[in-house]
Amino acid sequence: MSRTLLLLAALASLGGNVAAAKVRPVPAATPDGKPVSCIPLPIQESRVRDDRTIDFFARGKVYRNVLPNSCPSLGFEQAFSYETSLSQLCSTDIITVLQRTGGSYMRGASCGLGQFQPVTGVKR
């Protein structure tokens, strides 16, 4: 059974300065073990850091995923969705950027995930 899971990261307050939102530094993180191909669901929270970096918070751990390629508008929109029929999210899965238009969301670029690196030192 396929179920659609939607993750909406909180939209950053742009304060009229769009360029500043695109150049936020990615918070430092310390690797905590070897990268893994999949992480368990449910995911309590995710934080889009830029067009290539997402931090996933699941079962008391933080997993940093650096996408193999830049995902257009991901860092700006800070919202994405994914579909999986498994009880985990894997590096073979695809995310789709959600672009806010008026009061709703429209599908944007679809991008592949990378490996999930367990990390410490990342705050929500």
Confidence of residue 2 (pLDDT cuts 50, 70, 90): very low
Q: So what's the pLDDT on residue 23?
A: 53
Amino acid at 68: P
**33-51 pLDDT, tens digit each:** 999 999 999 999 999 999 9
SS (HEC) of the chain: CCEEEEEECCCCCCCCCHHHHHCCCCCCCEECCCCECEEECCCCEEEECCCCEEEEEECCEEEEEECCCCCCCHHHHCEEEEEECCCEEECCCEEEEEEEECCEEEEEEEEECCCEEEEECCCC
Q: Above 70 in pLDDT, residue 83? A: yes
Average pLDDT over every residue of 59-81: 97
**5-42 pLDDT, tens digit each:** 333 333 332 332 333 344 578 999 999 999 999 999 99
Among 52, 81, 83, 57, CA closest to 68: 52
Which residues, 6 or more positions from 124, have their beta carbon under 8 angstroms from its beta carbon? 45, 47, 57
Among 76, 73, 78, 71, CA closest to 111: 71
Q: So what's the pLDDT on residue 97?
A: 98
Contact call for residues 9 and 82 (beta carbons, < 8 A) = no
101 or 16, greater pLDDT? 101
